[in-house]
């Protein structure tokens, strides 16, 4: 049962977040050949001043990160 977590800066409204989650769910369902009910999606707002510590530093060193950030901090 895949769970997808999206981390991003705050500021998007609930409707935008729902559209994003739906689009990612659609793609994941298709690519993994699983019905949508097998997935869950969460969106976590991370303040910009906490981004480096809470997200960037972790994904830069995580061997499971498939696509590395294309920016430096």
pLDDT at site 69: 96
pLDDT tens-digit readout, 17-66? 999 999 999 999 999 999 999 999 999 999 999 999 999 999 999 999 99
pLDDT at site 1: 85
Hey, which residues does 4 pair with through a beta bridge?
A: 41
pLDDT at site 13: 98
Q: Flag whether pLDDT at 9 surpasses 90.
A: yes
């Amino acid at each position: 049962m895949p769970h997808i977590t999206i981390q991003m800066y705050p500021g998007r409204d609930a409707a935008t977040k729902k559209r994003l989650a739906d689009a990612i769910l659609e793609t994941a369902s298709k690519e993994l050949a699983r019905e949508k009910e097998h997935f869950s999606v969460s969106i976590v707002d991370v303040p910009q001043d906490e981004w480096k510590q809470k997200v960037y530093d972790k994904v830069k060193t995580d061997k499971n990160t498939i696509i590395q950030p294309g920016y430096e901090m």
